[in-house]
Structure 1
Amino acid sequence: MNGKNIGSLIKKLRIAKGYSQETLAKKLGISHAAISKWERGLTENLKMANLVGLKQIFNINIDDLIQGIEHHGEETDEIPDGNPSKAKINQPSSGLSRRQQALLGLFEGLTDSQKDALIRDLEEKKQQNDELLIELLKRKAE
């Protein structure tokens, strides 16, 4: 974990949301001094509960947060060669992994109602996993 990369990403995300350090600290239940230390790269290891909180507040993948990486989506309706599996929809500027490309290809082959149902199901499972992780972290902290 690189403290400077994480710190600069947290600051960038915080400012983009229009949050002060104090506002973000209140949302996480910590001091604004802790946020300041993170942003200045003075803290190498963030607690898992704080990582989960940042993930939820900024809607960012924990792995990306730990690495200090922010992915920007590039939306396009262009469908190369008329093949939806080759479309670049919300593709990160760094490119998609093979796994992401495979999932996108499969997803594009579904009907709109199947896509909507799948998205709802995945969002629900993600929320359940986040809640379980938070509960585990709370129990571990006790």
Structure 2
Amino acid sequence: MNHRTTLMLAMGLGGALVAGMALGHGNVTPQKVDTRALEPLGEEWVEENPYRAPYDKHELAVEVGKSAYSENCARCHGLEAVSGGIAPDLRELESTPYGDEWFVERVVNGAGQMPKMADYLSQEALWAIRTYVESLETE
């Protein structure tokens, strides 16, 4: 292979990689989340994660959140919240009132390419997602 062919091949592969990364943030239809087994929270956003332990249905909230995360968040934030670098690693978010405030700000108002997820998912679903992510350990 000559130098020109190698250069053109490298440019083609690079272009395909960039296009694939761009498509990773393409239009995604949010999937419904069944939160009927969790405590209803109403329309007004609560300030702190209500499903964090010692919530009596904490483990159920983790399971609901895991499913909801897989369907609605993993495409950009990575499987099991292990970011591939496109979006923030959500496991790094503090499990504190400050972290909760940051979370609410982003899901209600959107951030960067992330849509306003509160327009599509209930706060019960979003707090369950937060509960699931908090259950994961960072390496």
Please give the TM-score of this superposition, normalised by the length of structure 1.
0.27
More helix by share: 1
Please give the TM-score of this superposition, normalised by the length of structure 2.
0.27
Q: Which has the higher contact order (CA 8 A, sep 6+)?
A: 2
